[in-house]
Amino acid sequence: MKNRVVFLEFNGIPGSGKTTLSDRVIENMKGVSYTVESYHQLIEKPTRNNLKRLVRYLFSIKLSSFKIGYLALMYLITNKKLNHENGLRVISLIVLFDFYQKKSLANDEEVILVDQGMVQQMVSMLFESELIAEKYVKKLIRYTQKKDMGIFIVNIDLDINESFERLTRREGNISRIQKLKKDTAMHTLIMQQNNFNKIRKIIRELDLESITVNTQGSIETNVLLLENYIKGMKQPDV
């Protein structure tokens, strides 16, 4: 990983602090010799409101990226969650995967933080449903590993009650959970955390490298932990 792009995918339930933590890491690492930035700073994704632009965009995508779309569709079918909204999320996964492939081929000295990555999208697709079929989770992760694109997972943990309290204080970026009644919202957060736990178990079984951060502690401590993790990847071999 010393001379190529690294992707850090942040995943965790809504309100757990993914974006806050990734933004602080980016801000703190401005002085290092390689670029550390957010996925959102690098790509302007086509919107569902401009279908012509979306179609043109899809024509420029590598054919191998469409396999992730097929696997994602099968994931939705096996979990009985295929609908219009999730169909659009499949397109987002294709766009993300294509971005990973093209950036990794560029061989840039770069660290890219992704707070809405593949694992996060898989859990978001289920939303208020329990993960009932893990076969296509394994297929998705294995296909990602096969491409050897330098993806690492940052698991963000936080007590569910604290996550809910943070969501109630959040302004601007309103999540679907904030629109639910408290009992339903808490139930959904518990279910999402259980789905993350299942997918994280698969990630460990398949040896996709990951690190776990609990955002109950001070943000400075967690930022330092991730900075050291990134610097460890980028240290030259002795």
pLDDT tens by residue, 169-181: 988 778 899 999 9
Looking at the domain assignment, is residue 212 inside a domain? yes
Kind and range of the H or E element at 9? strand 6-11
Higher pLDDT, 40 or 44: 40
Looking at the domain assignment, is residue 146 inside a domain? yes
Average pLDDT, the chain: 90
Evaluate whether 25 touches 222 at the Cβ level (below 8 Å). Answer: no
Looking at the domain assignment, is residue 171 inside a domain? yes
Q: E strands of the chain, at which residues? A: 6-11, 35-38, 110-114, 151-157, 210-214
Higher pLDDT, 161 or 58: 161
Gyration radius (Cα) of the chain, Å? 18
Looking at the domain assignment, is residue 236 inside a domain? no
Number of domains within the chain: 1
Q: Which two tokens stand for residue 27?
A: 């801000």
The three-class DSSP label of residue 204 is helix
Evaluate whether 158 touches 13 at the Cβ level (below 8 Å). Answer: yes
Evaluate whether 206 touches 145 at the Cβ level (below 8 Å). Answer: yes
pLDDT band for position 111 (cuts 50, 70, 90): very high
Q: Is the predicted pLDDT of residue 2 greater than 50, yes or no?
A: no
Q: E strands of 82-236, at which residues? A: 110-114, 151-157, 210-214
pLDDT band for position 238 (cuts 50, 70, 90): very low
Looking at the domain assignment, is residue 238 inside a domain? no
Q: What percent of the chain has pLDDT over 70?
A: 94
C-alpha 54/C-alpha 49 separation (Å) is 9
CATH of the domain at 30: 3.40.50.300
Domain extent, residue 56, equals: 6-230
Looking at the domain assignment, is residue 215 inside a domain? yes
Looking at the domain assignment, is residue 24 inside a domain? yes
Evaluate whether 176 touches 30 at the Cβ level (below 8 Å). Answer: no
pLDDT tens by residue, 112-123: 999 989 999 999
pLDDT of residue 49: 65
Looking at the domain assignment, is residue 237 inside a domain? no
